[in-house]
Amino acid sequence: MTVLLIRNARIARPDGSNFDGDLLARDGRIERIGAGIDAHADETIDARGQLLLPGVIDPQVHFREPGKEYKEDLGTGSRAAVKGGVTSFLEMPNTDPPTVSQAALDDKLVRAAGKCVANYGFFIGATTDNLEELNRAQPVCGIKIFMGASTGSLLVDRPEDLERIFADGTRLIAVHAEDEARIRERRARFQDRTDPAAHSEIRDNLCALKATELALRLSKKYHRRLHILHLSTKEEVELLRRDKPAWVTAEAIPNHLFLNVDDYAGQGTLVQMNPPIRTKEDNAALWAGLRDGTIDFIATDHAPHTLEEKRRPYPQSPAGMPGVETSLPLMLTAMAEGRCTLEEIQKWMCWGPAAAYGIPNKGKILEGWDADLTLVDMQTRRAVRNEELFTKVKWSPFAGRELTGWPIYTIVGGRVAYDRGRIREDVRGKALRFVIGDR
């Protein structure tokens, strides 16, 4: 039995209001919230001056295990997660081997149980011939389809293969929406360009829009639960604002909210990712899409590659950036600047992803709900420093940025997993359950 008492915190309510009070967690659940709670506890935290939030759910990360553990593994990825206030993550199937079968999924679950300090769930990856596994594998948060090729070998780009997957089954389908044919044609056309900014021209806005249009068409035809990963363009926001059935959700990632093509000048291939960073106008459209509900929530697409790999000349450089431990401070800084509210932070980063993937009992600070929490310091401004990061690759495209809202403690299942710069190594996360994702 573990009892944790957090005293004198500014506690966030789901509606964005807050109050000064105490929270008692017993055996992984929030037992009581109130003022002046007096109970025996195994551990008491004095949280005066700190903001208590529900633990963040990051619904898109790449933790590279098995196969590319030199970049990240489930242990280091989960430690970076809790440092960033993330208590649950959904991990992508483009590992090596890819997660395309029950056996590969079971392997990840066993590895995660042994080393993750945050709660974990996994996608199963679509190939052109694993339809039965896609619909049967358990437990999964959804099916991931790479409609355009990115890191790893997964790709389903022929419309007839996509149609078969959408037609058969009811599970959530999450798409990396970029049109492979257009990428190939433009890559050939731009083959003389070796400047990293070419990446955003090759994989242009129309690449993303075309694939999102196709996924939306198939989702409507078969009434199939669809999630569009890392929406990046103004055109996609406009499309979904006009035409977004109730069974479709979409996400944005901090890279597409806080970076744009101007960053190639200073950071070059470090900011190369798929789908690419776009213009300031796209940044603004994504913020507007979040605010009006066209975009449902935020993920990070944490996609670590070593600095050595990233510094290769374009186009030999790999696409992707780490992000799991900077997303909450970035968003809380935006909140401090008046760009969003405490209610939106919780909707976009806590209960929104939980609702979309059917993760019960997480994402709100309520009695009876899971005690996954993060206590953040909203007073201090601190720069992102590469050497302080927990991700194995030890770099961030946000290095040097001054941010407000760094986690001080992160609590997973009622136990402190991250404690002022250190990991409590005896804590383990649990496999997440998906109530609607597995219909």
Distance separating alpha carbons of residues 301 and 260, to the nearest angstrom: 16
331 close to 298: Cβ distance less than 8 angstroms: yes
- Kindly state whether residue 260 participates in binding ligand DOR, applying the rule CB under 6 A: no
Query: Hey, is 329 helix, strand or coil?
Result: helix
Closer residue to ligand DOR (CB): 148 or 413: 148
Q: Which amino acid is at 171?
A: R
- The residues that bridge with 20 in the sheet, in sequence order, are 10
376 close to 405: Cβ distance less than 8 angstroms: yes
**What would the two tokens of residue 312 be?**
């290769």
Residues within window 317-346 making contact with ligand DOR, judged by CB under 6 A: 319-320
Closer residue to ligand DOR (CB): 274 or 410: 274
Residue of 104, 147, 303, 411 interacting with ligand DOR (CB under 6 A)? 303
- Kindly state whether residue 200 participates in binding ligand DOR, applying the rule CB under 6 A: no
Helix (H) or strand (E) holding 328: helix 327-336
Closer residue to ligand DOR (CB): 7 or 186: 186
Q: How many amino acids of this chain bind ligand DOR (CB under 6 A)?
A: 10
- Specify whether 263 is catalytic: no
Nearest distance from C-beta of residue 300 to ligand DOR, angstroms: 11
- Kindly state whether residue 150 participates in binding ligand DOR, applying the rule CB under 6 A: yes
Closer residue to ligand DOR (CB): 4 or 154: 154
- Kindly state whether residue 207 participates in binding ligand DOR, applying the rule CB under 6 A: no
- The residues that bridge with 402 in the sheet, in sequence order, are 383
- 114: which residues sit within 8 A by CB, 6+ positions away? none
- Kindly state whether residue 94 participates in binding ligand DOR, applying the rule CB under 6 A: yes
133 close to 94: Cβ distance less than 8 angstroms: no
339 close to 254: Cβ distance less than 8 angstroms: no
- Kindly state whether residue 62 participates in binding ligand DOR, applying the rule CB under 6 A: yes
Q: Which of 157, 296, 301, 438 is catalytic?
A: 301
Residues within window 273-292 making contact with ligand DOR, judged by CB under 6 A: 273-274
- 58: which residues sit within 8 A by CB, 6+ positions away? 81, 86, 88, 89, 90, 299, 300, 302, 324, 327, 353
Peptide bond into 66 cis (omega under 30): yes
Burial class (CB in 10 A: 0-12, 13-18, 19+), 409: buried
Closer residue to ligand DOR (CB): 178 or 372: 178
Alpha helices in 337-373 (DSSP H): 342-346, 352-357
Closer residue to ligand DOR (CB): 60 or 283: 60
Nearest distance from C-beta of residue 274 to ligand DOR, angstroms: 4
Nearest distance from C-beta of residue 238 to ligand DOR, angstroms: 23
75 close to 38: Cβ distance less than 8 angstroms: no
Nearest distance from C-beta of residue 263 to ligand DOR, angstroms: 14
Nearest distance from C-beta of residue 376 to ligand DOR, angstroms: 27
Closer residue to ligand DOR (CB): 79 or 305: 305
Angle at 280 between CA 275 and CA 284, to 5 degrees: 90
Residues within window 240-259 making contact with ligand DOR, judged by CB under 6 A: none
58 close to 410: Cβ distance less than 8 angstroms: no
Residues within window 364-423 making contact with ligand DOR, judged by CB under 6 A: none
The span from the first CA to the last CA of the chain, in angstroms, equals: 33
- Kindly state whether residue 99 participates in binding ligand DOR, applying the rule CB under 6 A: no
Q: Which of 397, 399, 402 is nearest to 385 (CA)?
A: 399
Cβ-closest residue to ligand DOR?
320
- Kindly state whether residue 196 participates in binding ligand DOR, applying the rule CB under 6 A: no
Nearest distance from C-beta of residue 346 to ligand DOR, angstroms: 27
Closer residue to ligand DOR (CB): 26 or 203: 203
Distances (CA, A) of 362 to 12, 114, 136, 159: 14, 22, 25, 36
Nearest distance from C-beta of residue 305 to ligand DOR, angstroms: 6
152 close to 94: Cβ distance less than 8 angstroms: yes
- Kindly state whether residue 151 participates in binding ligand DOR, applying the rule CB under 6 A: yes
Nearest distance from C-beta of residue 131 to ligand DOR, angstroms: 22
Phi, psi values for residue 99, rounded to 5°: -85, 85
- Kindly state whether residue 176 participates in binding ligand DOR, applying the rule CB under 6 A: yes
Catalytic residues: 301
Tell me which residues touch ligand DOR (CB under 6 A): 62, 94, 150-151, 176, 273-274, 303, 319-320
